[in-house]
Amino acid sequence: MKNIKTLLIGLCLTLGFTQTTQAQDENTAAVLNIYSNLEGLTPSTAGSLLRIELEKTGFFKVFDKHDLLEMGKRGGIDLTECYGKLCLYEVGKSIEVDKMFSGSIERLGKKIVISLKMLDIKTNKYEMTTIQEFIDVPQEIQAMMQITLNNMLGIENNKEAMETLVHFNEPPVTPQVKVKNNGPRVGIAFVGGEMGARLMAPKNEGGWGAAPVLSQFGYQWEKVYLSAGDFQALIEGIVLISGPEQQIFNPKLVLMNGFRSSKTGLEFAFGPSFGIEKTADSYLDTESNSWKLASNWDITDTAGIKIDNPYPIVSRLDSRGDIQLSPGWVIGVGKTFKSGYLNIPVNAFASFGKHGWQTGLSIGFNIKK
């Protein structure tokens, strides 16, 4: 019984010693503001990002931000502009912390550079420093911070995140930025001129009995044939179907030469269009003031012989006529809006043909790869 009691006491002492040793071995750390020249990212926010990622590692007992501010206030130390070694050492010694973390986040050209440093208060020396270059994607700054901190502390990073965000050195070439807007399109068009009038005309007069506002559905393909810096020249092909909601099937192929700024998303394009239309030879009957099909002329004289039609015969749009090719010309302007990896192109266009014109808006979407 005595031996068992002695064993239990020894076990408790051993556990207590282990816990005390672990508590002593746990380093404390503090993170102040991180210098940042990124728009919308303040030094205080940058410091908070590092503090969060440092706590995730579990390597240190990290001082709370508000505790730091309170300690600095009591000691009369301004923590908002503390970036240098001397200031870090004085603050660390004042608040009795083991390690002080600081660094910077800077946009340099077309990349973001994050540097971190860890000052050991006992030795007053930088124990660890690291620097990492990333592509210019500010919305992924927290993931960049995590990658940089992991590199410094020897923690393995996610391979996919590294390949996506890290800026790797490449052979010097002319920088090229491309935006591809292949994808579906939806829009609306207003039809004017003779085309709009014939569209609204009753069917018994050769019209379509429809409103001059048509929905449009289609798909756009494009091929960049010139790209230099932020400038792109491209060939665009668009297939459209207009007016299905009014039981009108009007397909059209549009081919355009376009110019786009990948930086601003603005573009301008122009080119021919090829659609179909129904036309018929007609004449204006002055007696009834109405248009009639030339093929329906059947007036004869008293001898029953057909009289030649005295009215001028013209070819005009007519729902009772024959289908034929309808060429035209299209001019468009637009802008591509970006949301993460999503491109949202918005375009205004005007189309001109022999029998009238159209103008309208279209919108699409596609995912950047």
Q: What is the pLDDT of residue 115?
A: 93
Any domain includes 176: no
Residue 75 sits in the same domain as residue 215: no
CATH number of the domain bearing residue 60:
3.40.50.10070
Burial class (CB in 10 A: 0-12, 13-18, 19+), 202: exposed
Residue 161 sits in the same domain as residue 33: yes
Residue 128 sits in the same domain as residue 273: no
Backbone angles phi, psi at 301, to 5 degrees: -85, -175
Any domain includes 15: no
- Inter-residue contact 39 to 136 (CB < 8 Å): no
Q: What is the pLDDT of residue 315?
A: 86
Q: What is the pLDDT of residue 11?
A: 40
Residue 238 sits in the same domain as residue 153: no
Residue 346 sits in the same domain as residue 209: yes
Residue 250 sits in the same domain as residue 353: yes
Residue 74 sits in the same domain as residue 153: yes
- Inter-residue contact 140 to 167 (CB < 8 Å): no
Q: What is the pLDDT of residue 273?
A: 94
**Which residues have CB under 8 Å from 356's CB, separation 6+?**
191, 192, 193, 194, 195, 196, 197
Backbone angles phi, psi at 364, to 5 degrees: -145, -170
Q: What is the pLDDT of residue 16?
A: 44
Structural domain range at position 75: 24-165
pLDDT exceeds 70 at position 302: yes
Average pLDDT over residues 217-236: 87
Any domain includes 18: no
Q: What is the pLDDT of residue 78?
A: 66
Q: What is the pLDDT of residue 169?
A: 53
Average pLDDT over residues 205-211: 87
Q: For 165-179, 186-200, 282-296, which range has the lowest pLDDT when averaged over its residues? A: 165-179
Residue 123 sits in the same domain as residue 209: no
SS3 113: strand
Count up the domains in the chain and report the number: 2
Backbone angles phi, psi at 360, to 5 degrees: 180, -170
Average pLDDT over residues 86-99: 87
Average pLDDT over residues 36-41: 89
Residue 267 sits in the same domain as residue 141: no
- CA 176 vs CA 110, 181, 265: distances in Å: 12, 16, 14
- Inter-residue contact 150 to 166 (CB < 8 Å): no
Q: What is the pLDDT of residue 172?
A: 45
pLDDT band (50, 70, 90) for residue 149: very high
Any domain includes 131: yes
Q: What is the pLDDT of residue 316?
A: 87
Residue 97 sits in the same domain as residue 188: no
